[in-house]
């Protein structure tokens, strides 16, 4: 598989190992993206469907990172990634954005292969130097997109990840090696980026030995001061432990708010809550919605914790984080911790 050195030819400012923040919608704004890129990682801005608001975020990022841009082979390239939820998004509006800002990476997620191909071809026309990263959650999807789109990287999202992902998925422990083998048989050489359950240097080192060229972290950056996270949400995240028990994957986390517009391929991982428990016990969704509405309006006298009043997206690594930190410190500490664990592993053999 493609090495870190190949990634660095497109992303000259990055340091090894590559650490990126996930483009979490509404959470990963210009402040987080700027901090992560300045620390030698790949900072990313999350999906927004308001093009004006997104343009403001990109303008702010360009201003803050101008000194890095001045050192790049292409000084017009914005040294961040930009996340796109592909299904339902207007291609033309997004292409105008890519043409104007020329982000280093376009992170495409949540669509079928044919849609991914359309978006890939369109982005390469308006911003040829933008790298195409496609997020996927299965070996077959990775092979299909690799053959059809020839992306610069495949982001393999394991089932431990918080937020939305493939409903029928595996952890990166098997997803990455099997994908490596499948692509090697087809003589396809594409960078693989690991996502899902990665919280520290131990998991990063493991992902690299599995065949990844870098890692993406979402839940870990919920604990970054630069993330746009309400304090009440952060407190709930910091209080959670035993991630396999305190989080769950389900479509109810979207269905509770009305008709679920997400394709059936996807569900999402959140902190477990009362409406999830009611759903798993067989309560019908209309009754759960009515209960939640009555409870939140205070008509039944029941008191709810914050996770019971909403869908708090978080991965299984949530129990490994309980303090607030700066994004740069998170990137630096994980980078050094990764190197330490790789050296230790090498010394054993």
Whole-angstrom distance, CA of residue 285 vs CA of residue 332: 44
Return the pLDDT at 302.
66
Residues 109 and 212 in one domain: yes
By mean pLDDT, which of 16-25, 227-236, 304-313 is the weakest? 304-313
Give yes or no for residue 226 having a pLDDT over 60: yes
Whole-angstrom distance, CA of residue 24 vs CA of residue 45: 7
Residues 159 and 215 in one domain: yes
- 117-121: long-range contacts, CB 8 A cutoff, minimum separation 24: 117/148, 117/149, 118/91, 119/84, 119/86, 119/91, 119/94, 120/149, 120/150, 120/151
Q: Which domain holds residue 181?
A: 4-230+323-348
Residues 193 and 221 in one domain: yes
Residues 125 and 262 in one domain: no
pLDDT band at 300 (very low <50, low <70, confident <90, very high): low
Residue 172 domain flag:
yes
Q: Omega before 17 cis (within 30°)?
A: yes
Residue 236 domain flag:
no
Tokens found for residue 230: 């309400």
Return the pLDDT at 303.
75
Return the pLDDT at 295.
85
Residue 84 domain flag:
yes
Residues 111 and 253 in one domain: no
Return the pLDDT at 299.
60
Residues 47 and 189 in one domain: yes
Residues 198 and 245 in one domain: no
Residues 268 and 196 in one domain: no
Residue 203 domain flag:
yes
Residues 223 and 274 in one domain: no
Give CA separation, 267 vs 164, 192, 225, 248, in Å.
6, 23, 28, 10
Query: pLDDT digit string (tens) for 85-144?
Result: 999 999 999 999 999 999 999 999 999 999 999 999 999 999 999 999 999 999 999 999
Residues 112 and 256 in one domain: no
- Total domains present in the chain: 2
CATH number, domain with residue 33: 3.20.20.70
Return the pLDDT at 309.
86
Return the pLDDT at 237.
95
Return the pLDDT at 345.
87
Give yes or no for residue 169 having a pLDDT over 80: yes
Residues 23 and 100 in one domain: yes
pLDDT band at 1 (very low <50, low <70, confident <90, very high): low
Give yes or no for residue 294 having a pLDDT over 90: no
For the residues of 179-212, what is the DSSP string, one character each? HHHHHHHTT---EEEEESS--SHHHHHHHHHHT-
Query: Is residue 84 a contact partner of residue 47, using CB atoms and an 8 Å limit?
Result: yes
Residue 318 domain flag:
no
Tokens found for residue 197: 């359950």
Mean per-residue pLDDT of the chain:
95
Mean pLDDT, residues 70-88 taken together = 96
Residues 176 and 286 in one domain: no
Residue 235 domain flag:
no
Sign of CA dihedral 304, 306, 309, 313: negative
DSSP classification of residue 47: P
Sign of CA dihedral 16, 22, 28, 29: positive
């Amino acid at each position: 598989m493609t090495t870190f050195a190949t990634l660095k030819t497109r992303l000259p400012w990055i340091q090894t190992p590559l650490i990126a923040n996930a483009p979490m919608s509404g959470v990963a704004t210009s402040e987080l993206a700027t901090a992560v890129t300045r620390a030698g990682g790949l900072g990313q801005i999350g999906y927004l469907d308001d093009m004006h608001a997104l343009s403001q975020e990109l303008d702010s990022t360009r201003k803050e990172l101008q000194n890095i841009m001045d050192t790049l082979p292409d000084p017009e390239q914005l040294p961040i990634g930009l996340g796109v939820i592909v299904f339902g998004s207007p291609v033309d509006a997004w292409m105008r954005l890519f043409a104007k800002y020329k982000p280093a990476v376009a992170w495409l997620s949540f669509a079928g292969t044919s849609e991914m191909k359309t978006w890939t071809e369109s982005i390469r026309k308006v911003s040829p130097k933008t790298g195409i990263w496609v997020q996927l959650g299965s070996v077959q999807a990775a092979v299909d997109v690799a053959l059809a789109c020839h992306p610069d990287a495949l982001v393999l999202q394991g089932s431990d990840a918080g937020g939305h992902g493939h409903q029928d998925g595996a952890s990166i422990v098997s997803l990455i090696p099997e994908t490596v083998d499948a692509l090697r048989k087809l003589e396809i050489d594409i960078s693989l980026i690991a996502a899902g359950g990665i919280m520290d240097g131990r998991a990063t080192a493991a992902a690299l030995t599995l065949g990844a060229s870098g890692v993406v972290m979402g839940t870990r950056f919920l604990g970054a001061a630069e993330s746009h996270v309400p304090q009440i949400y952060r407190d709930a995240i910091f209080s959670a432990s035993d991630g396999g028990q305190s989080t769950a994957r389900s479509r109810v986390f979207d269905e509770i708010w009305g008709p679920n517009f997400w394709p059936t391929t996807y569900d999402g991982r959140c902190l477990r809550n009362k409406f999830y428990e009611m759903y798993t016990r067989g309560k019908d969704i209309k009754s759960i919605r009515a209960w939640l509405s009555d409870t939140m309006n205070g008509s039944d006298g029941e008191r709810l914790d914050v996770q019971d009043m909403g869908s708090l997206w978080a991965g299984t690594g949530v129990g490994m984080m309980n303090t607030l930190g700066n994004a740069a410190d998170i990137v630096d500490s994980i980078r050094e911790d990764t190197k330490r664990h790789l050296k230790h592993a090498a010394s054993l053999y």
